[in-house]
A and B are shown apart, each in its own frame.
Chain A
Amino acid sequence: MLDRSYYQKTDEIMENYPKEESALIPIIQDVQEEYHYLPPELLEYIAKKIGITETKAYSVASFYVNFSFEPKGKYVIKICDGTACHVRSSIPVLQRLYKELGLTPEKNTTEDMLFTVETVYCLGACGLAPALTVNDVVHPAMTPEKAAALIQELRGAEHDKV
């Protein structure tokens, strides 16, 4: 069961949209932006409010790759494997990230909920290939070494806070 604040926040988000089917995607995008993932309870709650079945809501949310029912880490690293990045060796960067963080394509979030690694097709920063983003901030011209250093830096920033 989710905390009540989740439902309150969802209500706030829904105030910006009409209560109809066409608002489903924008609403769940906003909810996901808030929590870094789409809590299934909230998807069901939204479905009821806009008058569509839970099944329908799930069928839409599961169709689009941007929606995730699993919680994601604090830092979502999206590594671009578009054509430009691919031919400039994005895969070795991905492999290094997996190695640094002990992740695999199947398990892509670290135990401490700090990092999630995803591959995407094209971030539109092809001139700077290979590129990755950390929470939407673009890091250009990556190499496996730079990727490892970036992880160290982010970990360090976390450590300093504690």
Chain B
Amino acid sequence: MTSTTEAPAGAGRGVSTPVPPRRRRKIRADDVGRILFVLPAGIAMALLFGYPVVKNVLMSLQEYTLTTFFTGEAPWVGLANYADVVSDPIFSQAMLNTGLFTAGSIVFQFAIGLALALFFKQKFPLSGPLRGLLLLPWLLPLIVSSATWRAILEQDSGILNQFLGLFGVEPIGWLVSPSVALIAVIGVNIWIGIPFNTTLLYSGLQSIPDELYEAGALDGATHAKAFRYITWPSLRPVISVVLILGVVYTLKVLDIILGLTGGGPANATQTLATQSYQRSFVDFEFGHGAALSNILIVISMVFAVVYLRRGRQAADE
């Protein structure tokens, strides 16, 4: 943005006087064209993203309840909704859980995704079909995945505990013990997130020219060294995209947690997203729900801004 506006100004200053007006006129015509091209997308964005966001902010400042839907009356309460949700003891637990859920998911999704991407980079028979199979978790509707995993993790008859039982392990309350449930939910989310990481990282790996490795090999850079000095640096832009998008997606995960534990047991897997859902669509306190989701949006925005800046840096390079 800054570079495009500065460049003509700087150019204008350097050139003799009759030129700039003509240039300026030309730029204006260009701008109209550009604006016309951007306008439909801008309107669509405003309607599809702007309206809900603004509405959500307004809602969080109102006492928006069941009655509002019938009478249209929602008194303004200022920041009371925010004060209410933040002072709720569940809020700090939900914040902590959101942090643990996001960090845990991202670290393992990424590490496993990268390992698999590197593995599939090697040429071996059936690597194509296997890579296709790997996409399965991503293609399944989340509600199906969570129902299946719920059955797998069931304490008494779930296949995981039956399998562990073969090795003499006592049944573990994957979804019913507050100390284990969050780990189980993170585990399932990792499983769901691996294909996304693998796919993007794999395509990133594909774009690294083989010549780099050949040249590196001549210099004695093989395996670990090649990864450290060639793969990792070349993959960096993709990695930052994968991580930042992953964080934004994971922060707002709702269906998996609802499907597996519903936020329980005893709020052990409650996150900001599930709390927001609970407040809005179970308790029908839409103002509280909106306040929580706005807090979530602000947290996501931090990462989105980082993502945009990264993207711009990459473009500038």
Is B truly associated with A?
A: no
Chain B positions within 8 Å of A, measured between CB atoms, are none
Chain A positions within 8 Å of B, measured between CB atoms, are none
